[in-house]
Amino acid sequence: MDEPIMSEQQNVSQVEASYPEIITFGETMALMMPDNTKGIEYSSHFHSSFGGAESNVAIGVSRLGHRVGWFGRLGKDPLGQMIFKKIRGEGIDVSRAELTTEAPTGLILRQVVNGKSSVYYYRKGSAASFMRPEHLDEAYIKQAKYLHVTGITMALSESARETVREAVRLAKKHGVKVCFDPNLRLKLWTIEEARGVLLDMAAQADYFLPGLDELKLLYETENEDEIFAKLRELPGRSIVKGGDDVTYVVEPDSVTEVPYFKAETVVDTVGAGDGFCAGFFAGLLKGYELPEAVRLGNLVGCMVVQTEGDWEGIPTWEQVEAFLNNVKHVER
């Protein structure tokens, strides 16, 4: 018996259902950490993983039940291949990611000594720093609901900066909402170099996701009233992390405070901001109102800090629901 022929409309619907709802891109690096607390200099055994703000967010969005695409440039080397496979293994579309022989995969070394975390980057001249606007796929960006970019990518090189600008231009051309996290990294550029670039991008974003400490550097003031006044002048909405027990939702005519969730134990704060962004985006994709999407972001960030790793502790949607419903784990 012949198989039924799918109608053209059914074909289109199936293809659209497989498109990522949110797209992000940037540099993801291999991560090496000592297996103990002696520090890098005195350690002979290391744990390998990977980390990158944008891929961390992508993993979070995927675990929270939504379709997400991540792309970037990785070296065609063992570290790049490891990263590529693991990101793909999280259910993320990596069809536009590239493994290249042009340059190597970037590397991070991290240590925690006496409770203090230190990070050492080996990313100058990495594959991601050679990202160029021609690497973008306009049709891929066009079909998404949201494009998420960060200031980290803009700090890598002039060509990477232009790639972000072009991606935002394409997104706005096709009505795709732009989300921008400045993710200020002063090991990559000075505040004088970063200020104009990041504030210009903030003015183009539909959702601007800074930390309060970042805003004090960008706006050159400690006065929070002045900072919020400047944010209200932006055309988009600002979600400000890092307040005293609250995240702020800043709109043209209001500032709403969304309380944090209390973490029982803080194990590792790395990745908390990316976890917040993932939860926030998942909230938007689920159709939540802005404060409720921020509340979900706060919850995911709270859950992330209670485990080790950049992205390993990001919860699934089932774990979030269990937390909200206070479901206790039954071992047997």
Structure tokens given for 65: 């039940």
Instruction: State which amino acid sits at residue 187.
Output: K
> 57 Cβ partners below 8 Å, 6+ apart?
24, 148, 274, 277, 278, 281
d(CA 45, CA 109): 13
d(CA 59, CA 89): 10
Structure tokens given for 265: 């134990």
Structure tokens given for 253: 């005519």
Q: Which residues are part of the catalytic machinery?
A: 274
**First-residue to last-residue Cα distance in the chain:** 48
DSSP 73-122: EEESSHHHHHHHHHHHHTT-B-TT-EEESSSPPPEEEEEEETTEEEEEEE
* Element holding 284 (H helix, E strand): helix 272-285
d(CA 23, CA 93): 9
Q: State the Cα angle at 180 between 142 and 280, rounded to 5°.
A: 90
DSSP-derived pairing of the beta strands 237-240 and 246-251: antiparallel
d(CA 280, CA 299): 9
Instruction: State which amino acid sits at residue 102.
Output: E
